[in-house]
Amino acid sequence: MIVMGVESSCDETGVGIVEWTPGEGDGPGEVTLLADEVASSVDEHARFGGVVPEIASRAHLEAIVPAMQRAREAAGIDKPDAIAVTIGPGLAGALLVGVAAAKAYSLAWDVPLYAMNHLGGHVAVDTLEHGPMPECVALLVSGGHTHLLHVTDLADPIVELGTTVDDAAGEAFDKVARLLDLGFPGGPELDKAAAQGDPHAIEFPRGMTGPRDARYDFSFSGVKTAVARYVEKCRRDGVDVPVADIAASFQEAVADVLTLKAVRACTDLGVDTLVLGGGATANSRIRSLAQERCAAAGITLRVPKPRLCTDNGVMIATLGAHVIAGGAQPSPLTVATDPGLSV
């Protein structure tokens, strides 16, 4: 079975194609990557310091049909056996473009359409690299989301354990990078600056880690405000802003809370696999601290390569393959987008 995945929830237009091979007997099936086409409008948003929904939607409109064409050529197919498409969560106008395209091709090719949740895609994509997925906890961190999830089986509904009550972790990276004049998207630049700094130079607050706070929820607005205050004070006092130390200390605070809660969830639930996903898992400290803490707690850490961690169509195709193989029914052509979709 060949599945095409269409993703347009934010600023990446992704079309991926995978092949699903059923397992022997009751054994797990296998997913193979056939095509991975991504067009990004990230550069068009840079001068605004954040993703502008209208610009993202227009860019999807221009990119979607050529991306479909390139993916089919790369995979050497005329049409897939099924189309999986992200219906949410994401930007309303951006989602509409991918869903409209997926519906049109589904109708024209007479192939079934399956509505997918973007968050599940971030977890499922790991099976391409690391094989069948056992029961796991997943930590998704990107510019748009911060979620702690409990996944029993990729074909079954996912349970959300916690999420951010304010900013997404990647968004906090981008905002702090902006405060430090490091450019957009700021996460990678902040990571580079942090490499030259001392992570213990400044003790920034660890949001929602008090005994009465929700065990699996996150908050990053406090640490962001603390950085803003620190920078203001330096400027008021006429001293140089210690950019590298601030970057390293901020990054340490965010990585500390994310990995603490992810490992806590694994331990509480008795789950021995943690999967990371989302663009911000490219962060060097989130990766290294997750590795250290998982090793100490006897947890296996699975992290897809960076190309698969950021938004793409392959993750939606891969989730689609698992869900279809699990016996899901196709979605009607009237299926709607759901920008606020939870898991």
- Establish if 191 lies at the interface with Zn ion (CB under 5 A): no
Buried b (16+ CB within 10 A) or exposed e, 212-225: eeeebbbbbebbbe
The verdict on 311 binding Zn ion (CB under 5 A) reads yes
d(CA 336, CA 343): 16
Binding residue per annotation — 187?
yes
Query: Between residue 216 and residue 275, which ones bind ligand KG4 under the rule CB under 6 A?
Result: none
For Zn ion, the closer of residues 249 and 283 by Cβ is: 283
Could you tell me the two tokens for 226?
């603390």
Q: Is 311 annotated as a binding residue?
A: yes
Nearer to ligand KG4, 125 or 282 (CB): 282
Q: Between residue 165 and residue 184, which ones bind ligand KG4 under the rule CB under 6 A?
A: 170-171, 173-174
Are 144 and 311 in contact, with CB atoms under 8 Å apart? no
153 labeled part of a ligand binding site: no
Check: CB of residue 169 under 8 Å from CB of residue 258.
yes
Report d(CA 83, CA 114) in Å as an integer. Answer: 6
Binder of residue 277, out of Zn ion, ligand KG4, none (CB less than 5 to 8 A by kind): none
CB of 122 to Zn ion, least distance (A): 6
Neighbours of 6 (CB within 10 A): 30
Closest approach of ligand KG4 to the CB of residue 107, in Å: 29
**Per CB under 5 A, does 281 bind Zn ion?**
no
Asked if 89 and 341 count as a contact pair (C-beta separation under 8 A), the reply is yes
Asked if 273 and 136 count as a contact pair (C-beta separation under 8 A), the reply is yes
> In the complex, what is the shortest distance from the CB of residue 59 to Zn ion, in angstroms, rounded to a whole number?
16
Count of residues near Zn ion by CB under 5 A = 2
Answer yes or no whether residue 142 interacts with Zn ion by CB under 5 A.
yes
Among 187, 242, 313, 320, binds ligand KG4 (CB under 6 A): 187
Q: Cα–chain-centroid distance for residue 287?
A: 14
Task: Decide: 12 and 312 in contact? Cβ < 8 Å.
Answer: yes
Q: Which strands sit side by side in the sheet containing 136-141, from one edge to the other? A: 159-163, 146-151, 136-141, 273-277, 300-302
Q: Which of these segments, 134-142, 185-193, 217-225, 237-245, binds Zn ion (CB under 5 A)?
A: 134-142
Using CB under 6 A as the binding rule, whether residue 280 contacts ligand KG4 is answered as yes
For Zn ion, give the closer residue by CB, 142 or 164.
Answer: 142
CB of 1 to ligand KG4, least distance (A): 27
Question: Which CB atom, from 64 or from 325, has the smaller least distance to ligand KG4?
Answer: 64
Look at residues 177, 187, 194 and name the one whose alpha carbon lies nearest to residue 278: 187
Residue whose token pair is 């840079």: 46
Nearer to ligand KG4, 194 or 208 (CB): 194
Per rule CB under 6 A, is residue 142 in the interface with ligand KG4? yes
Per CB under 6 A, 143 contacts ligand KG4: yes
- CA dist 201 and 203 (Å) reads 7
Which of 156-164, 236-244, 310-318, 322-330 is the region at the interface with Zn ion (rule: CB under 5 A)? 310-318
**Angle in degrees, CA 54, 336, 218, rounded to 5:** 70
Closest CA to 313 of 61, 77, 102, 140: 102
Containing H/E element for 107? helix 92-109
- Residue 60 annotated as binding? no
By CB under 5 A, tell whether 171 contacts Zn ion: no
List the binding residues for substrate.
140-144, 174, 187, 191, 283
**Interacting residues with Zn ion (CB under 5 A):** 142, 311
List the binding residues.
118, 122, 140-144, 174, 187, 191, 283, 311
